[in-house]
Structure 1
Amino acid sequence: MRKLFGTAGIRGEYGKVISPEIAYKVGLAMATFIGGKGVVSVGHDVRLTSPLLSSSVASGLMAGGVDVVNVGLVPTPILAFTAPHLGLDGGVMVTASHNPPPDNGIKCFNSKGMEFTEKMEEELEEIIFNEKFTYAKWDDVGNLEYYPEVVDEYVDKLLSKFKPKRIRRKIRVIVDCANGAASNITPLILRELGASVLSINCHFDGLFPGRIPEPRPDVLEGLGRIAKTVNVDVAFAHDGDADRLSALTSDGRFILNDRLIAYYAKVKLLEKGGGVVIVSIDTSFAIDEVVEKYGGEVVRAKLGKTHEKLVEYGLKAVMSAEPWKLIDPDWGYWVDGIYQAALLTSHMLEEGVTIEELLKDIPEYPQVRVSFKVPNETKHRIVSEVHEKMREVFKNYESELSIDGLRLNMPDKSWVLVRASGTEPKVRIYAEARNTKKLNEIYEKTLKILKEVAGKYEVKIS
């Protein structure tokens, strides 16, 4: 079955997966989808092909009779923000998020600023693959308006939400924006909140010269060394479009993303007096412990689709999250890394603490999160066979989740997950245990299974 959309929109190498032609068709399909009238915002990240692709999307929208508000170079959270803030019918963001520089992609948002659901994406694919486009007549094509001022409006609104009631101590923060779309925004917001801010890789550059734009532990080792040297209370790092946030301690250690999720859950549950916390399938049992402690319930969902569960649970849900990503429905229905940085900074300022002290009551368990390059043509078959063998090797598992890959939960609260990436030609292994010895045992068994199965398809795992 032909497919354009993956875990997080359309994403892949420019000229192969994504092109001006595809971008135009997505814009035209979006216009057809919303009935050939209305207003949709279009924005893009810093990638070299992004201005071209966003212009193509806008052209498709206008050809279908929809007016376009072009907000230019913005982080994904701000593009999503435009829809409810300006009362629009939707938004389209051109970004490949944390992917390498040659890649690009497209994400579509509804009038609430929420990323399209799988069903909505399938409807767009149906329009595109069957060419069921609706074109506007010559005198009814869409208009084009530029509105970069929305960036300032987003900043003002976020500052008003998180301005500290009092500052117990002026904390020191270093921010690494990966030369991405938030380079001129996150440092400004944290400074306006009251922090002393140092910045690194905070000029726009679509080649991402400072580091690759995925804020994972190995990539941020350099930032960790700098953080330790310049004596900060926390280090923050974004991906290319700032829907993600990673944090490092004052001595440069990477903070497991699940601990941040657990902290956000604690904050929201204390605020709401209970509720449902939606997290992705690859998250730690540490979250469950915190959520249960504060009177909440954990529900797990597919990676990249926690927003769909958020809609399903309605007012019962206090938040949804996956590693690096948070949606707070009281702020908006989009993933927002800038929001995370502002929330953490505001709390640290009010309490006068380092990030370690802020998270002191959040548990931490050893984890492994590893990706292996596997061709798209074979990755799903390989993963399917791996799943069968996992059930045999870990035969004493207590429960399983198969909503996105296969996760086996063990009686001792360890777990392992294997899934095919929805955005890249990769297979991913995730695991957690209460001690390093057990973690290594689970990981090595799983890796052995993957190597054996991949070998049958002449794919080398290294």
Structure 2
Amino acid sequence: METKFFGTDGVRGIVNQDLDCTLVYNIARASVYYLSNGLPLGKTFCVGRDTRLSGKMFESALISGICSTGANVVNLDIVPSPVVAFLTKHYNLDGGFMITASHNSYEYNGIKVFDKQGYKLSNKMEFEIENILNNIDNIVINSSFDNIGNSKLYKKGLLDYLSYLNLNFPLNLNNTKIAIDCGNGAAYKTGPILLKKLGAEVITINDNPSGKNINLDCGSLHPDALKRVVLETKSDLGIAFDGDADRLIAIDENGTIINGDTFLAIFTKYLKFVKKLKKNTVVTTIASNIGLEVAIKKENCLLIKTDVGDRNVIEMMREKRYSLGGERSGHIVFGDYSTSSDGLITALMLLTVIKRMNKSLSELSEVMINYPQFSLDAKVSNKKKHLFNRVDGIIEKITQIQNKLDDNKKLLIRPSGTEPIIRILIQGDSIENLIPDLNDLKLIIESKLA
């Protein structure tokens, strides 16, 4: 069941090329029509956005589309994605929209859609919305002139979310020094405010968004600047968000980068210790490090893997009622606290473990040994990226590499759900001799799928 507009994390593309105001307007109309079962009049949806240049433009288009159906809008302005998910459920709304391209640079933007429970839409739901979108001229969606919806700017939403976090994570962070890289994104105010209120000494970088500097050499994908700050200021740890703050990467006191796999190992051990790890099971994706499997097995817990994408992790957690899941990228989901991956909740849970166990982040990270890995991105045509495993030359090269693997190595090749890229990843012991093969594979893929 393939969709034209929706990828692994909503709709995403380059502004005014793949995604323009007309498409955003119609995505809003089709989504509202679907989420309200064809009866949008009087329904209410919230809308948030990150800090990128096109955000305000698409906010206008999205709100116009929603209001044209007769539905109303709670405009949350600039907030992290998890805030939209939380407030959709907390306010008992009919759905939520987040305007963001997450970790991508500013020329990209996108739309994440949440159902009334605060969950991202399933593949089936997105497929049905696309069917509406493709036939939108033949469906009566617009309301009459006297029933057009209204939009209200509501700044208190962020405060309600912060109150929820303070209630559930009553930490005392006095005498704790934390460096924060806000990625010039949606958490540029929220992160520092939250941690300062808990008593931490906060050193903030990349908290001055210009519209064009979101994720630019900063944030969770580019932690080198944060690493320098942690070491120079002798901070206890550093935390870095991506553009919409649904993921987190940390830096320990020694300058070591701590990724989502290590988070999962830390949280598995802790939640099992406090008897809050439901069914002693953790959900991750096929892109996780082999070291995570070893760490989870050592805790006598079960590790379940899904396809890449935090939505797939959440769907598995929701279906089986698990309490912990996430990805190496730093998307971590705590099912007892949130319906989405949440960088702020991940940071608070990490600080909770540090305080409760009276250990530094480096000491906690010893629970897992990351196996060596090497990755490459092959730039391809977005229309052709799903053909990589059906093209002669590519198939043969992949088979050749696979024949060189043993039980301690893993090869993963997959199309990106958000960019025109084929991601190539190998991990395990002694992978150095395979790197030339991966470089050859990258060149073959790029030549065949240009």
TM-score by length of 2: 0.91
For the structure 1 residues 213 and 99, does the alpha-carbon distance in structure 2 shift closer, same or farther, using more than 3 Å as the test?
A: farther
The reply to whether residue 440 of structure 1 matches residue 432 of structure 2 is yes
CA distance in 2, matches of 1:347, 1:340: 11
Aligned length: 436
Closer/same/farther in 2, CA of residues 214 and 171 from structure 1, 3 Å limit: closer
Which residue of structure 2 lines up, in the alignment, with residue 248 of structure 1? 251
Which residue, 419, 431, 447 being the options, matches 1:455?
447
Residue in structure 2 matching 1:289, options 267, 290, 294:
294
Please name the residue that 2:29 is paired with.
28
In the TM superposition, residue 10 of structure 1 has moved relative to its aligned partner by: 0.8
Are residue 135 (structure 1) and residue 135 (structure 2) matched? no
SS in 2 for 1:225: helix
- Alignment partners' CA distance in 2, 1:395 and 1:366: 19
The whole-number CA distance in structure 1 between the counterparts of 2:206 and 2:261 is: 25
Which amino acid counterpart does residue 422 of structure 1 have in structure 2? Answer: G
- Aligned counterparts of 2:181 and 2:62: Cα–Cα separation in 1: 30
The 2-side partners of 1:453 and 1:205 are apart by: 36
Counterpart in the other structure of 1:354: 360
Q: Is the 8 A contact 1:70 1:145 kept in 2?
A: yes
2:368 paired with 1:372: no
Distance 1:176 1:367 in 2: 25
Q: Does 1:39 align with 2:35?
A: no
Q: Is the 8 A contact 1:383 1:427 kept in 2?
A: no
Conserved in 1, the CA contact under 8 Å of 2:179 and 2:235? yes
Equivalent-residue separation in structure 1 for 2:262 and 2:29 (angstroms): 41
Q: Tell me whether 52-61 or 342-351 shows the greater mean CA deviation.
A: 342-351
Structure 1 residue 394: Cα displacement: 1.8
2:161 to 151, 154, 159: 154
Q: Distance in 2 between matches of 1:283 and 1:94?
A: 28
- For the 8 Å contact 1:318–1:329, the answer to whether it is kept is yes
Of the three residues 269, 277, 280, the one matched with 1:266 is: 269
Q: Output the CA distance in 1 between the equivalents of 2:444 and 2:21.
A: 40
Residues 383 and 246 of structure 1, relative CA distance in 2, 3 Å threshold: farther
* Contact 1:127-1:133 at 8 Å conserved across structures: no
SS at match of 2:146: coil
Answer yes or no: is the 8 Å Cα contact 2:179–2:230 preserved in 1.
yes
Tell me how far apart the structure 2 counterparts of residues 86 and 231 of structure 1 sit (CA, whole Å). Answer: 41
The CA deviation at 1:82 is 0.8
What CA deviation, in whole Å up to 9, does each residue of 1:288-313 have, x standing for no partner?
Answer: 22323334321111222222222332
AA in 1 matched with 2:434: I
- Partners of 2:374 and 2:242 lie apart in 1 by 20
Could you tell me how far apart the structure 2 residues matched to 1:327 and 1:245 are?
11
Cα shift at 1:411: 1.4
1:411 counterpart residue number: 407
Aligned residues: percent identity?
Answer: 28
- The answer to whether the aligner puts 1:204 opposite 2:225 as a matched pair is no
Q: Deviations over 1:362-392 (max 9, x none)?
A: 2222122332322213323335443554234
Which aligned segments of 4 or more residues in structure 1 are displaced greater than 4 angstroms?
none
2:294 maps to a residue whose letter is E
> Using a 3 Å threshold, how does the CA distance of structure 1 residues 250 and 370 change in structure 2: closer, same or farther?
farther
Deviation at 1:66? 1.6
Q: What residue number does 1:310 align with? A: 317
The 5-angstrom pairing of residues 107-126 of structure 1 reads 107-126=112-131
Q: Tell me the SS of whatever aligns to 1:241.
A: coil
Provide the secondary structure at the position in 2 that maps to 1:360.
helix
| Aligned-CA RMSD value | 2.2
Provide the rounded CA distance (Å) in 1 between the counterparts of 2:352 and 2:196: 11
1:177 Cα deviation (Å)? 0.4
Aligned match of 1:404:
none
Instruction: Give the letter for the 1:162 counterpart.
Output: F
Give the conservation status (yes or no) of the 8 Å contact 2:373–2:428: yes
State the TM-score, normalized to the length of structure 1.
0.88
How is 1:377-392 mapped onto 2 (pairs within 5 angstroms)?
Answer: 377-385=383-391, 386-387=394-395, 389-392=397-400
Q: Which residues of structure 2 form unaligned runs of 5+?
A: none
The secondary structure found in structure 2 opposite 1:51 is helix
Is the CA contact (8 Å cut-off) linking 1:383 and 1:419 kept in structure 2?
no
> Any unmatched runs of 5+ in structure 1?
398-409
Q: Is residue 197 of structure 2 the alignment partner of residue 192 of structure 1?
A: yes
